[in-house]
């Protein structure tokens, strides 16, 4: 008999039929009741191993996380807590699990910090099962959203010679030896003998390449891994993460904001519709966690309430100048509760962004028209000479979740800005060609996928929403 998923059994609303299920033991009570989970859903299936029906040699191997194949009949449950039971007829132990050696005894409720050290096994817990099912749903929803709108999915390079952000914090890619690398006369490394014949690095963004696609297909998006060699050991930063970056020809800043708002609301709604059980579990986990915090540090809204709130409210739209004025006039600033100073021209910190979202507007906020000196070279310059047509979307709990702009399509203005920022135009000739040959107004944005998963699941550390986090001094697994 072929395997039936536990999710299908629980959704079938039917009893009195035979099935084979395969999964991992969550618990074994009274030498009779097995909670079996196969990862297809949050709930486990209760299997009843009738007393006296199975050899002690088999029963002794039914320990937490052992894998089993069980054939039997689905019946209406006589007990509380579940609708159906599987009355076992045959039990086969596929893989044993020594309870004395197994590092995740779930009855002891291991901490998230401990589970990060056991990332290869943490998927078996309810919390991480829920998180990564939601992550999958969000990834699928992203592709569905753009596909249904007619966007072309572009795979942009992971190894690149350009630095799209001008940040300089990149991982170098080389086949040259660490000791004895060839040198130029001035002592610098001679990359002509490297694999690509030049200095290369892991990508920090696929945006510039996506712009090339947008000037041919009209609407494109990327969804792939990006890398930042920032020594940021925080709950919000990763060295390897996934980015979604749409680029749309003929869009201006307002079109860009409309697309980003529609996109965020779409994927959240999709997760609510398809992972309700997982999100309800994560909401209860968050409520239990917050009971340990002082009242003033607890979230004002439960997880599902927060997600519904984002769906049911238009995002507030303000300029950067208006945002600074609000912060300067805030009780938090006047009482010196901000750690970082507030003045026009600063790159707003997370505490400033969260104040705008959580305290002032109490909804997601889109901030536009940032000072050009704190933004990238490719953003379209406004006529005031001080700001650029940029936009960031700020979300409750995490601050910035989306960053984007209308791109500078005017060749002379782009070349002038690159010169001011000491970005070598000859290395980006291919990018400038899009402004030489049929340039058009266009816009796009980037969304860090893990930030989105963090927001939707209510988790508080970004290392808990990616399977194997890459952080400073940590590249395990």
| Per-residue model confidence as pLDDT tens digits over 343-380 | 999 999 999 999 999 899 988 999 999 999 999 999 99
- 164 pLDDT tier (thresholds 50, 70, 90): low
- 168 pLDDT tier (thresholds 50, 70, 90): low
- 65 shares its domain with 141: no
Q: Assess if residue 195 is contained within a domain.
A: no
pLDDT for 147? 98
- 304-346 tens-digit pLDDT: 999 998 999 899 999 999 999 999 999 999 999 999 999 999 9
- 155 shares its domain with 64: no
Supply the mean pLDDT for the chain.
94
* CATH code of the domain containing 208: 3.30.930.10
Q: With 80 as the cut, is the pLDDT of residue 277 above it?
A: yes
- 147 shares its domain with 74: no
pLDDT for 222? 98
Burial class of residue 117 in the structure, from the number of CB atoms within 10 Å of its CB (0-12 exposed, 13-18 middle, 19+ buried): middle
Single pTM value for the model: 0.94
* CATH code of the domain containing 80: 2.40.50.140
Rounded to an integer, what distance in angstroms lies between the CA atom of residue 259 and that of residue 263? 6
- 437 pLDDT tier (thresholds 50, 70, 90): very high
Last residue within a domain, chosen from 69, 102, 135: 102
Task: Determine the average pLDDT of the residues in 25-37.
Answer: 96
pLDDT for 294? 86
Rounded to an integer, what distance in angstroms lies between the CA atom of residue 426 and that of residue 409? 18
Q: Identify which has the larger pLDDT, 105 or 243.
A: 243
Tokens of 67: 């894998």
Q: With 60 as the cut, is the pLDDT of residue 470 above it?
A: yes
Rounded to an integer, what distance in angstroms lies between the CA atom of residue 47 and that of residue 36? 7
Determine what percent of the chain is predicted with pLDDT higher than 70: 98
pLDDT for 165? 60
- 76 shares its domain with 208: no
Task: Determine the average pLDDT of the residues in 408-420.
Answer: 96
Question: Which among 9, 78, 87, 18 has a CA at the least distance from the CA of 44?
Answer: 9
- 96 shares its domain with 136: no
Tokens of 339: 């750690």
Q: How many residues does the chain have?
A: 477
Q: Assess if residue 277 is contained within a domain.
A: yes
Q: With 80 as the cut, is the pLDDT of residue 107 above it?
A: no
Rounded to an integer, what distance in angstroms lies between the CA atom of residue 50 and that of residue 423? 74
Q: Assess if residue 181 is contained within a domain.
A: no
- 398 pLDDT tier (thresholds 50, 70, 90): confident
- 41 shares its domain with 133: no
Other C-beta atoms lying within 10 Å of the C-beta of residue 387: 20
- 338 shares its domain with 262: yes
Last residue within a domain, chosen from 102, 118, 135: 102
Q: Assess if residue 113 is contained within a domain.
A: no
pLDDT for 80? 84
Other C-beta atoms lying within 10 Å of the C-beta of residue 119: 17
pLDDT for 145? 98
- 233 shares its domain with 328: yes
- 164 shares its domain with 28: no
Q: Assess if residue 182 is contained within a domain.
A: no
pLDDT for 166? 57
Rounded to an integer, what distance in angstroms lies between the CA atom of residue 36 and that of residue 205? 42
Domain that holds residue 219: 126-169+204-464
Q: Assess if residue 114 is contained within a domain.
A: no
- 446 shares its domain with 368: yes
- 167 pLDDT tier (thresholds 50, 70, 90): low
CA distances in angstroms from 141 to 127, 210, 267, 271, 358, listed in the order given: 21, 20, 5, 8, 27
- 415 shares its domain with 343: yes
Count of structural domains, the chain: 2
Task: Determine the average pLDDT of the residues in 277-299.
Answer: 89
Q: Assess if residue 191 is contained within a domain.
A: no
71 with 18: CB under 8 angstroms? Answer: yes
Last residue within a domain, chosen from 65, 87, 102: 102
pLDDT for 108? 73
- 15 shares its domain with 98: yes
Residue with tokens 């536990």: 6
Q: Assess if residue 474 is contained within a domain.
A: no
Q: With 80 as the cut, is the pLDDT of residue 65 above it?
A: yes
């Amino acid at each position: 008999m072929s395997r039936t998923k536990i999710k299908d059994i629980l959704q079938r609303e039917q009893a009195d039929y035979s099935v084979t299920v395969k999964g991992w033991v969550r618990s074994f009570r009274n030498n009779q009741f097995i909670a079996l989970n196969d990862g297809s859903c949050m709930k486990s299936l209760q299997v009843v191993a009738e007393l006296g029906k199975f050899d002690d040699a088999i029963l002794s191997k039914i320990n937490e996380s052992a894998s089993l194949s069980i054939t039997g009949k689905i019946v209406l449950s006589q007990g509380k807590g579940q609708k159906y039971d599987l009355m076992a007829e045959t039990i086969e132990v596929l893989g044993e699990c020594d309870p004395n050696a197994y590092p995740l005894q779930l009855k002891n409720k291991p901490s998230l910090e401990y589970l990060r050290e056991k990332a290869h096994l943490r998927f078996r817990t309810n919390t991480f099962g829920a998180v990564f099912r939601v992550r999958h749903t969000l990834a699928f929803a992203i592709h569905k959203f753009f596909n249904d709108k007619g966007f072309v999915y572009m795979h942009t390079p992971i190894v690149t010679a350009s630095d799209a952000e001008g940040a300089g914090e990149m991982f170098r890619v080389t086949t040259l030896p660490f000791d004895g690398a060839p040198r130029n006369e001035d002592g610098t490394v001679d990359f002509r003998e490297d694999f690509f014949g030049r200095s290369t690095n892991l990508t920090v963004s696929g945006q510039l390449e996506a712009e090339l696609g947008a000037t041919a297909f009209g609407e494109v998006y990327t969804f792939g891994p990006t890398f930042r060699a920032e020594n940021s050991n925080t709950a919000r930063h990763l060295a390897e993460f996934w980015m979604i970056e749409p680029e749309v020809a003929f869009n201006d800043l307002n079109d860009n904001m409309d697309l980003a708002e529609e996109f965020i609301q779409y994927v959240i709604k999709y997760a609510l519709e398809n992972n309700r059980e997982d999100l309800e579990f994560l909401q209860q986990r968050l409520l239990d966690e917050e009971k340990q915090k002082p009242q003033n540090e607890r979230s004002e809204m439960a997880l599902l309430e927060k997600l519904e709130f984002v769906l049911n409210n238009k995002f507030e739209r303000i300029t950067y100048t208006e945002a600074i004025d609000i912060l300067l006039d805030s009780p938090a600033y006047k009482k010196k509760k901000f750690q970082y100073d507030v003045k026009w021209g600063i790159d707003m910190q997370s505490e400033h962004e969260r104040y705008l979202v959580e305290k002032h507007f109490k909804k997601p906020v889109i901030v536009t028209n940032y000072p050009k000196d704190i933004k990238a070279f490719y953003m379209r310059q406004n006529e005031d000479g001080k700001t650029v047509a940029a936009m960031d979307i700020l979300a409750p709990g995490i601050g910035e979740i989306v960053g984007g702009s209308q791109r500078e399509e005017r060749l002379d203005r782009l070349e002038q800005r690159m010169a001011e920022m000491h970005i070598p135009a000859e290395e980006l000739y291919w990018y400038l060609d899009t402004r030489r040959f049929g340039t058009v107004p266009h816009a796009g944005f980037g969304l860090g996928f893990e930030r989105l998963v963090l927001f939707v699941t209510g988790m508080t550390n970004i290392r808990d929403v990616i399977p194997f986090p890459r952080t400073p001094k940590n590249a395990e697994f």
